[in-house]
């Protein structure tokens, strides 16, 4: 009887651990609108890796915080690595708190400029093969500061993104788009 109780207790503890791990590591996201067309369609469901950009606020560690590599400047150290160019991220909009998906274009220290819809990163034109509907708008140069990133939708004529509301604070990032799972014909890893 004692062995049975122990096994039940171990099973419950393991189940609780797995449940909590999944709650914090895998998030569900439903694509809204056409801002990422053709890569993502409205109504598609994705799993988002919530641990991908886990971060520590090293400013809370005082002088000891200097031993941490903040990677993209500022007060955060990313446990598994910071966002990179081209990453598809899900985040909370700084304007209306809705969850959105966009592509990372600029990182701290970068200067972004948009001329006739072409994006220039630090003065160099970015070749964006994933953009199918480019607009012809101009946007002034913008410097990406510590703890910020610059994000754009792939369907530029239908995307409300950093061009309009500015740079995204890294603390708004929910995670990295990882796996399409619905509808079934779209199933696959996000690239």
The CATH number for 33's domain is 2.10.109.10
Residue 62 lies in a domain: yes
Considering the entire predicted model, what is its pTM?
Answer: 0.81
Residue 142 lies in a domain: yes
Q: Which two tokens stand for residue 49?
A: 């890796």
Residue 17 lies in a domain: no
Q: What percentage of the chain exceeds 70 in pLDDT?
A: 87
- Tens digits of residue pLDDT in 129-154: 988 888 888 899 999 998 899 999 99
pLDDT surpasses 70 at 64: no
Confidence of residue 74 (pLDDT cuts 50, 70, 90): low
Residue 19 lies in a domain: no
Residue 20 lies in a domain: no
pLDDT surpasses 70 at 97: yes
What's the pLDDT score for residue 80? Answer: 75
pLDDT greater at residue 110 or residue 26: 110
Residue 5 lies in a domain: no
Residue 13 lies in a domain: no
138: exposed, middle or buried (Cβ count in 10 Å: 0-12, 13-18, 19+)? exposed
Find the domain containing 178 and state its range. Answer: 26-189
| Own/partner pairs, 125-131, CB within 8 angstroms, 24+ separation | 128/154, 130/39, 130/103, 130/154, 131/155, 131/156
Collect all residues with Cβ–Cβ distance below 8 Å to 147 and sequence separation of at least 6.
72, 73, 74, 75, 76, 108, 169, 170, 171
What's the pLDDT score for residue 5? Answer: 86
Residue 21 lies in a domain: no
How high does pLDDT run on average in the chain? Answer: 86
**Domain total for the chain?**
1
pLDDT surpasses 90 at 25: no
């Amino acid at each position: 009887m004692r062995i049975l109780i122990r096994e039940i207790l171990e099973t419950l503890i393991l189940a609780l651990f797995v449940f909590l791990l999944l709650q914090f590591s895998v998030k569900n996201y439903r694509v809204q609108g056409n801002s990422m067309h053709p890569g993502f369609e409205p109504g598609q469901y994705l799993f988002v890796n919530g641990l991908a950009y886990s971060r520590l606020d090293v400013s809370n560690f005082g002088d000891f915080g200097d031993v941490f590599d903040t990677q993209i400047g500022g007060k955060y150290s990313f446990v598994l690595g910071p966002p990179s160019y081209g990453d598809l991220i899900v985040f909370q909009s700084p304007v209306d708190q809705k969850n959105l998906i966009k592509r990372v274009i600029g990182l701290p220290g970068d200067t972004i400029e948009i001329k006739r819809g072409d994006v220039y990163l630090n003065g160099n034109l970015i070749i964006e093969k994933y953009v199918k509907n480019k607009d012809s708008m101009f946007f002034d140069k913008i410097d990406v500061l510590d703890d910020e990133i610059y994000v754009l939708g792939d369907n530029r004529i239908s995307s409300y993104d950093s061009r309009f509301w500015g740079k995204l604070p890294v603390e708004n990032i929910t995670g990295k788009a990882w796996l399409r799972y619905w509808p079934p014909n779209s199933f696959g890893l996000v690239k």
